[in-house]
Chain A
Amino acid sequence: MFDSLTDRLSGIFTQLRGKGRLSEADIDATAREIRLALLEADVALPVVKEFIRNIKERARGAEVSQALNPAQQVIKIVHEELVATLGGEERRLNFAKQPPTVIMLAGLQGAGKTTLAGKLGRWLRQQNHTPLLVAADLQRPNAVNQLQIVGERAGVEVYAPEPGNGVGDPVQVAKDSIEHAKRVQRDVVIIDTAGRLGIDAEMMAQAAAIRDVTDPDEVLFVIDAMIGQDAVATAEAFRDGVGISGVVLSKLDGDARGGAALSVRQVTGQPIMFASTGEKLEDFDVFYPERMASRILGM
């Protein structure tokens, strides 16, 4: 089994703690270990390279050589860089001045979009919003039924005018859902879309069309915390194909290192807003970059 990033970094820092100051060789050794740990944590290689460059530069600087405890200082730097990459601070959902607020969900197949729709619906309802879930995945077998069940559990209305399983136009459904929401006075519209690959031009065009007809206040990109190096290509494809305003990291209840969080944050420039942490609707929280960085470092 791989050591976790935390173990790995603590391991290095324990070694460093025994020394007085950092030599160039110390810095290289530290950088190598951090690189290994980040790769084992599934941080994408280009992101690792840039991260290491920053760390090395700062480790050579005055702040380290003049520190009473250089090792402590390196830990601080790594932590700071992680927090900076992960976003620095939390952001709240953008709500429309003129309701309904429109939230579109997008991501790869099986990432956790439909489940998230239910979670968001439940969470917003608890805050006295009146959300509406929209069944705009008319492709995956029984995606519509799945959303209906999820909506029922969340106590949230589901707009599902088409049966799905290949029948119905998702763009039209998305468009009509806004009118429907106004009619029945729902203040947040959450659009569940089909899973799609970044390189599927036709499906990405469909996502862009859904975006164009609904003018969403948020396009949330849902990504599985288990994803590896492909996080970069996928995030780029969704960023360029649909546009992303925020990220949701799913399946964080697993034991994946979740290094993709760093990659996606870096590539999209958009905040990770929520953490999905289980199959049940209440397994959901806002995302705290501070906590994630501290968790990575075992602090």
Chain B
Amino acid sequence: LSSDKLDADTWEEIEDSLLTADVGIEATTQIVEHLRERTKVLGTRSAGELRSMLADELVDALGADMDRSLATTPHPERPAVTLVVGVNGSGKTTTCGKIARVLVADGRSVLLGAADTFRAAAVDQLATWGERVGAETVRAPEGRDPAAVAYDAVQRGIETKVDTVLIDTAGRLQNKVGLMDELGKVKRVVEKHGPVDETLLVLDATTGQNGLAQAQVFTEVVNVTGVVLTKLDGTAKGGIVIAVQRKLGIPVKLVGLGEGPDDMAPFDPRQFVDALLGEPAGTS
């Protein structure tokens, strides 16, 4: 009577589309279960209807009405401070450059703090971005204590009265206890100037289930306030952010869509879900 028209293949296709988008088996199972119940109640018959119900379900799972704005407005006596964190190679430095670009284009003054004093040429890379977008970069020699550099950057930002200080940190895998402690210290030392306003976790869209562990551990250490999902211009769907939103309630705020200064956009759940599910079935 009800969902008989939705055969096993249809359900398997749905499950497969979520799994191959890195949504993960746990979230996928729960989403599909919920959908099955709803289709029974509603007597859904067509695969097209089912797809749009699934899309709604995913948009909901992404926290449709969450605030995704960045806290980059300066305080009366000091700049807003954003800390950018994440595992190696996810796109932190590039993201710092892109955010600076948006803010500068908005008429705001930005200062970049090069607190990755570890990786080869990381400081130069950030400084290149600074030149590109018109932001001063506070830098220190390689090997310098990253917390001290971050502190100095905010100090300089206060002195020069910039609106926003963006602090780039070294990539670190979340299972490296020493490196995570170091990151915690960076934040604590910076907060001698006042609370950090925004802590962005940069997550590579190609990341699989480890992305959830990344979000969990980074948020334990530095209280992540938003995710930047990078490299969404590739074939990866970035479905792990659904699990991150569901489990940890951390919203995706921005997406990275390329290597250029303007290749960044606000996160739009509906658009993200449409891309994740591919073209709506049965529209051809």
A residues with CB within 8 A of B: 1-2, 36, 39-42, 44-45, 108-112, 114, 139-143, 145-146, 148-150, 153, 165, 197-199, 224, 226-230, 233-234, 237, 251, 253-257, 259-260, 279
Query: How close is B35's CB to chain A, nearest CB, in angstroms?
Result: 19
Q: In the complex, A142 Cα to B119 Cα: how many Å? A: 12
Q: A141–B213 contact, CB under 8 A?
A: no
The answer to whether A259 and B234 touch (CB under 8 A), given A110-B91, A141-B128, A149-B121, is: no
> Quick check: A233 and B235 within 8 Å, CB to CB?
yes
B18-26, B46-54, B185-193 - the one binding chain A: B18-26
Q: How far is the CA of A35 from the CA of B172 in the complex (A)?
A: 30
Which stretch of B76-84, B146-154, B204-212 is in the interface? B204-212
Does chain A have a CB within 8 A of B194? no
Closest 8 A/B residue pairs (Cβ): A228-B208, A110-B89, A42-B208, A230-B236, A149-B120, A146-B121, A256-B210, A145-B121
What are 22 A-B pairs at a CB distance below 8 A? Answer: A39-B24, A40-B25, A44-B20, A108-B231, A109-B231, A110-B88, A112-B88, A141-B93, A141-B124, A141-B129, A142-B124, A145-B120, A146-B120, A148-B121, A150-B120, A197-B231, A199-B235, A228-B207, A229-B19, A237-B235, A253-B173, A256-B209
Are B24 and A142 in contact, with the CB atoms below 8 A? no
Q: A142-B121, A233-B235 are in contact. Are A255 and B213 (CB under 8 A)?
A: yes
Q: B212-233 CB contact bits vs A (8 Å, 1 = yes)?
A: 1100100000000000000101
B240 at interface, CB cutoff 8 A: yes
Residues of A within 8 A of B233 (CB): 197
Q: A197-B235, A279-B119 are in contact. Are A112 and B89 (CB under 8 A)?
A: yes
Report if B118 contacts A (CB, 8 A). yes
Enumerate chain B residues within 8 angstroms of A227, measured Cβ to Cβ.
206-208
Does B69 lie at the interface of the complex (its beta carbon under 8 Å from any beta carbon of A)?
no
Tell me whether chain A's interface is mostly helix, strand or loop, or mixed: loop
B210 touches A226 (CB 8 A): yes
The reply on B259 being an interface residue by CB < 8 A is yes
Note all chain B residues with C-beta closer than 8 A to A108.
Answer: 206, 231, 234
Give complex CA distance A226, B205 in Å. Answer: 11
Cα of A256 to Cα of B210 in the assembled complex, Å: 5
Asked whether, in the complex, the Cβ of B209 is within 8 Å of the Cβ of A40, the reply is yes
Instruction: Tell me how many residues of B have a C-beta within 8 Å of chain A.
Output: 48
| Cβ contact of A229, chosen from B22, B88, B125, cutoff 8 A | B22
Q: Which of B175, B204, B234, B235 contacts A254 (CB 8 A)?
A: B175
Hey, what's the 0/1 contact readout for B95-122 against A, CB within 8 Å counting as 1?
0010000000000000000000011111
B171 CB, min distance to chain A CBs, angstroms: 8
Contacts of B262 in A (CB 8 A): none
Query: For B119, what are the chain A residues with a Cβ–Cβ distance below 8 Å?
Result: 146, 279
Other A-B pairs beyond A45-B19, A149-B121, A226-B211, 10, CB < 8 Å: A2-B209, A41-B209, A146-B119, A149-B120, A228-B207, A230-B235, A233-B236, A251-B87, A254-B175, A279-B119
Residues of B within 8 A of A139 (CB): 259
**Given A40-B24, A139-B259, A254-B121 contact (CB < 8 Å):** no
- Cα–Cα distance between A199 and B213 once the two chains are bound (Å): 28
What's the minimum C-beta distance from A66 to chain B, rounded to whole angstroms?
A: 34
B37 contacts the other chain (Cβ, under 8 Å)? no
Tell me, yes or no, whether B181 is within 8 Å of chain A by CB. Answer: no
Contacting pair A230 B173 (CB below 8 A): no
Q: Give the shortest distance, in Å, between A49 (CB) and chain B (any CB).
A: 9
